[in-house]
Structure 1
Amino acid sequence: MAFNIIGHVPHNAFSEQPEARRAAEIDLAWISECARIHERAGFDSVLIGHDAWRPNAWLLAAHIAAQTERLGVCIAERPGTALPTYVARQAITLERLAGRGRVTLHVVTGGSGKDQRRDGDQIDYARRYDRCAEYLDIVRQTWRAAAPFDYQGDYFQLREAWSPAQPLAHGSIGLSFAGTSEEALDLSARYADLHMLWGEPLAETAQKIAALQQRAAAQGRHLQFSISQRAIVEDSEKLAWEKAEHLYQQALKQLGTKADQPADFKLDMQQSASARRLNELAARRDIYDERLWMKYARVLKVGGSTTALVGTAEQVAEAFLRYRQLGVSTWYLRGWDIAEDARCYGEQLIPLLRARGGS
C-alpha cells in the first residue's frame, strides 16, 4: 500500500500561536518558500483550504505548483461555490499545467451554514448531500466523457456539457472526501479515491475504516484513507509533553479559560457530525493510545486537524504506523508554525516514516 504525506500551505504564516504569526495578508514570498520547504522535507502534496473568507484556492495551488517540481496540490472546494463543470475543467487545466498526478480535488460538503451564507449559498443541511451527489456525478462525467453529455438533476441541468481537454490519464486527478454522517459516508463510498479521517483514537478509526470499506465494496470500489493529525516532536518525551502543555496554555490565554469547558461548543460548527464526534472524544480524555493528545482539540472545538501525536520522532513514527496497520495510507500532517514545523518534520520524522512505512 503506497504511503503519502500531505502538508498544508495557507496564504500566509498565520498560526493559532501568536509567536508563529508573521503576516495578515496574502504573503507571496512566504507561500513560495513554505511550498518549497514542504517539497524538500519529503511531503507528497499540500492541502489548500476552503472557507468563504480565504483567498482563491485554485490560484494559490497554481502558484504552488509553479514554485515546485513534484509537489502535489490538494484543492478544497465546496459545492455551491462554483458550477461542477467549471470546477472539473479547472482541475484538468491545472493538471495540464502542473503535470500528471499533481492535482487532487478535495470536496467539502460544508459543516458551517454560516460560512456558506457568506458566499450566498442558502441551501440547508439536509439538501447539501443531495446536491453534492449531483455535483460529483457531473465532475466525474466531465473528466471521463468522450463526447458531449446531458444531465438532468434537481440542482443541475446540463445540455451538451463537455471538456475536450481531459485528464492526462484515467484517474490521474484524485478526488478526496471527508465526513462521518451517514450521507457523507455514502457519498465517499460512491465517489472518493481517498477518505480523510480526523485524528481519532485507534479503536474508533478502525471501526470507521471497516464500515466505510464495506460500503465501498457494495459499490464495487476500494477506498484509501488518510488521518489528520498534528505532531509534536522533541528530542525527549518529556520535552514533547512540555511543549504540548505550553501550546495548550497559550490557547487558553487567547480564548479564555471557559474555552476548556465541553459545553462551550463552537456554534459555527454544530452542523458538522465529525466536529461533534471529535469534541465528544476530547471531552472524555486528554490522551488516548499513549500518544494521541486531545486537549488542544478540546480548547478549539472546531474539529479538523487539532489532535496531535506527541513524543520523540521515533515514538511519533511508531504511533502513526499503528494507524497504518489499520489501513491508513496517508497522513495529513501539519504543526503550529506551518513552515518551520514542516522543515523539522523533514529532518526528524519523515525519514523514519519512509524507512518504516514505505515510500
Structure 2
Amino acid sequence: RNSTRQLTSQLVGSKNKDDAPHELESQFVLRLPTEYASTVRCIAQSSSMNLKDRLTIELHADGRHGIVRVDRVPLACKLVDLPCILESLKTVDKKTFYKTADVCQMLVCTLDGDLYPPLEEPTGTVDPKKKKDKDKDKKFVWNHGITCPLKNTRKRRFRKTAKKKYIESPDVEKEVKRLLSTDAEAVSVRWEVIAEDETKEADNHGSLANLDSSPGTSGHKMGHGSSAQRDELREIFNDISSSSDDEEDEGDLRHEDEDLNIMDMEEDLVRQLQDKLNESSDVMEYQMQIDGVKAKLKETRARKKQQEDLIMKVENQALKNRFQALLNEIIHQEEREMEQVTLSEEDWKGYFKTASVYDLLFGYEL
C-alpha cells in the first residue's frame, strides 16, 4: 500500500522591508513505498537540520525520470501529471486554512524501477517534437487520483474531447493565389461551378424539353383538323359544280356567260384554298420557331439569375470580376434573343394581316 506525503519548499523571508517580496510556493506530491514513507514522515515532523543529507531528489535531463534517495537508499521515480489540479491548504490553529499552491504533478517512487532508463531516439521520418509530445501524452499521464475512490477517474469521469483538425490558413491562401495566377496566365480556362440548385436546373431543362416537344404535337392535331376541313370544302365545291352543270343542261343561253364567270371564280377559289392549305405548314414552322426562341430566352434568363446569385455569394474580388464578365455575356445573349422574338412576332402578325381577307370570306381559322 502506498502512502502520500506532500513536501513544501518555502523561502524564509527576512523581516527587513528592503528585502525582495516572498515568492509563491512550488509544490508537488511525493508518493513513496510504505516503509520509506514512514521514514520521510518522521524526518519532516522532527524538523532536523540534516534533512538534505537524509532525503535527496535528482531528476534526469528529460525532466520526467529521476532518483530519490532516502537514507542513501536509491529509488527510481517518475514525474506524472495528475488528472486535475489539487489545491494545497495550510493551517496553524487547525481552524483557519490558507491556500498556498496548486498541485498538478506527482513524483511516484518504486523499488523495482530502472534508476537510469535508456533514452529513446526518434526513428524513421517521424518528427522528434511530435514524437515527444505523443510520448508525454501516453506515458506521463496519471489516470488515478490520490485517494482510493478516485481510481481510474480519468476514464470514468472525464469526457473524451474531440480532436479538431486545424488547417493553416496561410497555406490555403497561398494555394488559391497560385491557382488564380495560373488562370490569369493561361490561354483558355475551363471551370465548373457546382451549386446547390442543380436539381432545380435539371427540372428547368426538363420543362424546356416539354416545351420543345409541344409544338410538334399541336401541329399533328391541327394537321388532322385541316385535312377534315379540306374534304368538307371539296364536297361543297363539288356540289356547286354539279348545280352549275344542271343549269347548263337547261339550255338557258342568257345565263351562259354568267355560268362561265362562276366557274372561273370557283376555280380561283379552289386554287386559293389549296394555297392556304399549303401555307398551313408554313404557319406551323413559324409557330415552332417562335416557341424555340422563347424557350431559349427562358433558359438564358434562368442562367442569368443563377449567375447573379453566385456573384452575391462569392467574396474573392478576382473571381467576382470573372463571374461578372460571364454575366455580361449572358445579358447580351438575352438582348439578342429578345430582339429575335420581337421580329418573329412581327412577321407572324404581318402574315395574319394578309390572311384576314380569306378568313372574312370563309370564316376558316388556321
State the structure with bigger RCO (CA 8 A, min sep 6), 1 or 2: 1
**Structure having the higher Rg:** 2
Structure-1-length-normalised TM-score:
0.18
Q: Which has the higher helix share?
A: 2
TM-score, normalising length from structure 2? Answer: 0.18
